[in-house]
Chains A and B, each alone.
Chain A
């Protein structure tokens, strides 16, 4: 079984072809062509016609190579430069028409997802990734993506606009002496790290793993005593400092000549070095691990993997982990959040067929259930509205912008006014998504009502479909359930109107 990945990056297009070899992936072909797409997106906002043409021509060449290896399974991905381009849709459409290929535009969460799952596969012997608290970082031409991992679970992921190509462009846009420009570059990088540091002042990290497919091979040229035993090795803080000292002393031409580094890399390696040092400052680690691999290889691994990524690390669990972390960040009542999520899941599972819902939709409901009160962080008053924009501004693991909107809307409609075309975010959804938001928010309202006191009084919830039109909810509780019942009554109509099902509540008091 062979698979291929075409990676449309911000500075290059790559084709990787590989096949399984025992537990490992054997890379058969690894082609790279420089195509500075990001130069256009980051500077001018959109991809030029010329670059589109060149992209198509390269993909067509790659299709030839794919034939040479009889590769049937192909994934085409694009990252920051395409994601951020104004004419993204046009680009995707033209490429599809000319090559027949669909491009999967990845966001930060997707990138990190592939990298994380690849890491746990690849490093299983070399490093106990599932037992550590980690910062996993991937430096691309467009973006520098960071993910916090706690014993195999993602806590958060965030992309910073300090990819190497961007830093190079930034440097070129500055008007100053060489030293001043370097200082500005350092400050720009520090500024991004500062944001992270302020966000997570008590960052508890065992190690940093940096995914680097470009620069690390040249480290030896600059640090003659540096040994790279394998493609996974340590870099000491002192070595990063030495790199910085050596590389900031001379200009890129001299870097290329002195250290035998290709000119295009010499132009961006200083930015890379600032980022290395930024990582050290972030966590006070004595060393970081560098793994020489690429996003394409990680995706290839996931395509060729016979067993799916472990259930522990599936998308739902990862997202719940992110949601938990966010609850902590925003000082939410985590017990309440979990309880509402559990109750929502129970109701959802029982009624999904009646309501025409799919298994996939559960994810949105659960996340909305976890995060529905997040707006309290701003103000308790109208907190559902605050929840909507906070969630909409989050970078949620492996979810598209559209999916995040759905979650934000579900959370918003957990209380008060029903969805309305006067609400811009809701109104921006297509009809099917609007209906989905209505159905899922109806479930969330009932689940939330059952924990109105935030005391988790519902010991057991049974959902019975007594007839085609009627749903009976049996709540087993040992507590006074009056407040919850009032909540139920307030939201009952909303549910019935949306679902067309009558809903009744039976409280079963237990001793």
Chain B
């Protein structure tokens, strides 16, 4: 194996992530996608960026600030990486704004959807906008003076604000006018012609600025937007009460360092230095944007456009008819494939358990869930029905903390035992266990999934749920709950493999077995589908397998730090990425095992954090029928020629779209509907 510089050997995880976001942007520009869906991709692209800045760039800046200068596993010094990231960000941003300002706006206009400046409004629309300003905006926006007695206000992350230079009696003053994040960003205007006319609220505010400053003249103003470092970094071992610690951390957030400052390119020269000083942000790093500072306004806009002809053809997830979920599970293990099949049986399982008088206990993990979750309601009901309910919550799910704390408190109030897991380890596995008394015996039911217990995302994320009444699973899942809740030390598992203890090693052993099979029988083969591949030890193992001749197919939606197709390194590895209508989220792993394939589902990607600092589970499917089905699914994925991008040895993805190509996601919609 040739010795290569890690920069050559791997694709940096952050740069690979940026490429992924580029693929999202591609979907926004793909004219074969319906227009509103393209807009949605653009909004997702923009939102992704915000998160990336808040987490990865912020982390990197912290490293640089701390004077750290050592290479990361991908061969980059922090400073070098920052330069490369900035460069890619600029390229992508520029592509996004070009797309937004030209093509998309044009096509919207073709479909009679308009974004208007204040001057373009007709009189009625102007009156409407003014009324909205007077009744809503004026009362909730508070201008803040900046002078010796009033320091520059602390603006929460993702806040847009106006900086305004005012004049009174020859004296200039600076005021900051933050736009509260609770206000919808777009206002739909009345229109008689059947058009959809929209205006951004910043446009309305800018027209009415003088209303806030009576007795002053508005000399100059600019709109800006800040993003702050939001990565939570609590020393968990020192914190006896994790919940409290997170609440405090959230309160602290608005004070975190500004990592991104976007300003409209029309910003006057005298305002920029004032802003930079007030926000302690280097002027050279300011991003000047040609248009809207925050494209996530699109989410608010498209929700107000009733044009099904511009959206994906709607489909109803196929509801598998289940009369009695417990009986069905006892008949045999089964899977559900979301979003093609309905998530309802999962909800019904918990609901049935909550109501069933023979159910004694429910245990489940909740990582990211929706606020109005029927599952949470069912758990509360179960606790009220005097069942023992143990909920293992991961309140650290990124950006969801605030939302999580609310429902966590509700669960506690209703009598559920809420457990916050182990310090330093995120509970990423998705599992539920139901203990039921049947003819005075205990029968346990287990639900495992590659995705979260979230009814909303189950409509857009592809995931696989596994339902079983097999007691080996129940033992393992019960044990893993006992370990996480500190009731027990780990026992040897029967049916699952869990991180952070065994998972990487287990995968390595499976890969070694393929290498062995390749040597003996020439049939080493691995298929792996995941969201991200970034663990360098795993990548090295895959390179080793490839060098031994094992054929490897990787379907990696997001980050992929492995470089495929490089002679003497990875020539037997192919990497595909599918970015399409549904977010590819399921994790499936198949090892040929000399013609008797072993098929696994998991909550884990092949990322360092999944192996080392999260509680993840991997479980093998034994039932032939399900195994066959899952293998078929993976084969179909590989046939996709609509949304598949192939990662090339030059580290770029190539979209292999063919005119009458096969779309695996569309295929599954019709397959499951039949």
Contacts and interface: CB of A to CB of B under 8 A. Distances in A.
B360 A70 contact: yes
Contact of B487 (A2, A19, A62, A217): A62
A43 interface: no
B437 interface: yes
B248 interface: no
B440 A64 contact: no
Interface stretch (B276-284, B488-496, B557-565): B488-496
- Most B CB within 10 A of own CB, among A2, A15, A26, A68: A68
Given A67-B388, A68-B360, A69-B360, A19 B442 contact: yes
Interface of A: 1-2, 12, 15, 19, 21, 26, 28-34, 58, 61-62, 64-65, 67-70, 217
26 contacts: A1-B440, A12-B489, A19-B442, A26-B442, A29-B482, A30-B479, A30-B488, A30-B491, A31-B482, A31-B488, A32-B489, A33-B486, A33-B487, A33-B489, A34-B489, A58-B487, A61-B485, A61-B486, A62-B487, A65-B482, A65-B487, A67-B388, A68-B360, A68-B435, A69-B361, A217-B492
Contacts of B435: 68-69
B146 to A, nearest CB: 54
B488 A70 contact: no
- The A interface is mostly helix, strand or loop, or mixed, namely strand
A65 B361 CA distance: 9
Contacts of A70: 360, 437
B411 to A, nearest CB: 16
Contacts of B487: 15, 31, 33, 58, 61-62, 65
B500 to A, nearest CB: 14
A128 B404 CA distance: 59
B188 interface: no
Interface string B369-393: 0000000000000000000101000
Interface in B398-435: 417, 435
Contacts, number: 53
Interface in B431-471: 435, 437, 440-442, 444, 471
A21 B471 CA distance: 13
Nearest to B362: A68
Contacts of A29: 478, 482
B504 to A, nearest CB: 13
B507 to A, nearest CB: 15
B492 to A, nearest CB: 6
B interface residue count range (under 10 / 10 to 19 / 20 to 34 / 35 or more): 20 to 34
A12 B488 CA distance: 10
Nearest to B471: A26
- Looking at chain B's contact residues, the main secondary structure is mixed
Contacts of B475: 28
Contacts of A217: 492
A21 to B, nearest CB: 7
B387 to A, nearest CB: 9
A69 B478 CA distance: 12
A142 B608 CA distance: 41
A64 B388 contact: yes
B361 A68 contact: yes
Nearest to A70: B360
Contacts of B485: 61
Nearest to B482: A31
B376 to A, nearest CB: 20
A19 B488 contact: no
Contacts of A68: 360-361, 388, 390, 435
A1 to B, nearest CB: 7
Contacts of A32: 488-489, 491
A19 B441 contact: yes
A61 B484 CA distance: 13
Contacts of B437: 70
A12 B491 CA distance: 13
Given A2-B442, A68-B360, 10 more contacts: A15-B487, A28-B444, A30-B479, A30-B491, A32-B489, A33-B488, A58-B487, A61-B486, A62-B487, A68-B388
A19 B438 CA distance: 12
Contacts of B390: 68
Report which residue of B361, B437, B479, B488 has the largest number of chain A beta carbons within 10 angstroms of its beta carbon: B488
Nearest to B440: A1
Nearest to B437: A70
A58 B489 CA distance: 12
Contacts of A67: 361, 388
A475 to B, nearest CB: 56
3 A-B pairs with least C-beta separation: A68-B361, A31-B488, A68-B388
A488 B444 CA distance: 68
Contacts of A62: 487
B59 to A, nearest CB: 32
Nearest to B441: A19
A62 B388 CA distance: 13
Contacts of B478: 28-29
Contacts of A1: 440
Contacts of B471: 26
